[in-house]
Amino acid sequence: MESDVHPSLVMRQEVVEEESTTFISYPDEQWTADHQAHVEAMTQQGRPVRSKRRLLAETVQGVMEEHCPPGAVLHVHVVPSEERDEGERQAVENFLNGFLLEDAE
Amino acid sequence: MTAATIVPHQRRAGQPATHALFHTVIKDRHGRVKHDSLHHNLRTNAGADWQAALMGSAAGTPAQYMALSNSNTFPGTHPAAADTTLTGEITSTTDTGLVRALGVYAHTTGTTSYTISKTGGSAFTAATGATVYGEALFTAASAGTMPFESALTSAPVMNAGDTLALTVTVNF
């Protein structure tokens, strides 16, 4: 099923009374394009540039806030892809879960 | 963080079964919310054909591109069911940070909606500034089909460095 929708990210969302899965499609090329746009905007305004991974986390968080019900507990699973090896996939996944956990506290 | 007050949505009589809500949040360069609104969309006539093709044909193309307009013909003349383009669509001539761009798709299993969004880290960031009057979804980076279109009732002025987070929730 995951390969059918071709997401880069899958957020597993756990609510108190039920559990469901939210698929977020954010392909690497889109992530890269968004980061390039961010770098151009920040550079033009002389403001600090955020890392590509940080931008990803903020995007996921933004989607979560709009899409998921309040109180949902989220676990992010990054779908394997040809663009990244297992080590990188795991690193991104850990970073995202850490970012969301830190924000929730 | 300032949270938007979102009224639970119910479909109204005469409203298409497939319809969308446009949620727009604009923050200044310091992160302070200066505009937060929720608007119902208009599904265009072309949107009905788009929906049919998407559900019943391999020729269907998702509408994931988000566009903004700086035309004050919104909300008086537009949106209109016969619209096929977004009047006054912001291009790089107006503001390179507010041009049409791909949104992020999200869907939760078992629900009857999905969202397309440019929010959080991927929100629009104004390079020079513009007044935003209208918003739409498209199937392509340029031209393409415009199935959903919406007007902002209190056209917010964006200054350089302001961000615009847009989430379109499509219910079906």
Please enumerate in sequence order all residues whose Cβ is within 8 A of that of B41, keeping only pairs 6 or more positions apart, or say none: B19, B20, B21, B22, B79, B148, B149, B150, B168
Q: Does B156 touch chain A (CB under 8 A)?
A: no
Compare CB distances from B110 to A20, A47, A56 and report the shortest one's residue.
A20
Nearest to B120 among A25, A58, A68 (CB): A58
Q: Give the DSSP letter of residue A104.
A: H
**pLDDT score of A101:** 79
Task: Give per-residue pLDDT as tens, A64-92.
Answer: 888 887 777 778 888 887 777 888 888 98
CA dihedral B95, B97, B100, B101 (to 10 degrees): 170
What ipTM does this complex have?
0.84
Identify the helix (H) or strand (E) that includes residue A103.
helix A86-104
Alpha helices, H only, A21-85: 28-45, 52-67
Q: Chain A within 8 Å of B2 (Cβ-Cβ)? A: no
Task: Compare CB distances from A25 to B104, B110, B123 and report the shortest one's residue.
Answer: B104
Task: Classify the phi-psi angles of B151: left when phi > 0, otherwise alpha if psi is within -120 to 50, otherwise beta.
Answer: beta
- Go through B41-78 and write b for each residue having 16 or more CB atoms within 10 A of its CB, e for each that does not: bbbbebbeebbeebeeeeeeeebbbbbbbbbeebbeeb
What sign does the dihedral B139-B68-B143-B88 (CA atoms) show? positive
- Chain A residues touching residue B167 (CB < 8 angstroms): 66-67
Amino acid B8: pLDDT: 35
Residue A62: which of B110, B111, B117 has the nearest Cβ? B117
Chain B environment of A40 (Cβ under 8 Å)? 96
A96 touches chain B (CB under 8 A): no
Mean pLDDT by 10 residues, chain A (105 residues): 45 63 87 93 92 92 85 81 82 89 68
Say which residues have a Cβ less than 8 Å from residue B140's Cβ, sequence separation at least 6: B61, B65
Q: With an 8 Å Cβ cutoff, is A41 touching chain B? A: yes
pLDDT at res. B18: 73
Preceding peptide of B75 cis, ω within 30°: yes
Name residues 35-94 of chain B within 8 A of A (Cβ). none
Q: pLDDT at position B54, please? A: 93
pLDDT in tens, chain B (172 residues): 333 333 334 444 555 567 789 999 999 999 999 999 999 888 999 999 999 999 999 989 999 999 999 999 999 999 999 999 999 999 999 999 999 999 999 998 888 999 999 999 999 999 999 999 999 999 999 999 999 999 998 888 999 999 999 999 999 8
Give the count of alpha carbons within 13 A of B89, CB side only.
Answer: 20
Which contiguous run of DSSP H or E holds residue A14?
strand A9-14
DSSP B60: -
**B88: which 2 tokens?**
């006054």
Task: Note the helical H segments in chain B.
Answer: 45-56
On whether any CB of chain B is under 8 Å from the CB of A83, the answer is: no
A49 touches B: beta carbon within 8 Å? no
pLDDT at A59: 93
Q: Please report the pLDDT score of residue A17 as a whole number.
A: 52
Cβ separation A59–B120 shorter than 8 A: yes
Q: What is the reported pTM?
A: 0.87
pLDDT value at position B158? Answer: 97
Query: Minimal Cα–Cα distance from A56 to chain B, Å?
Result: 7
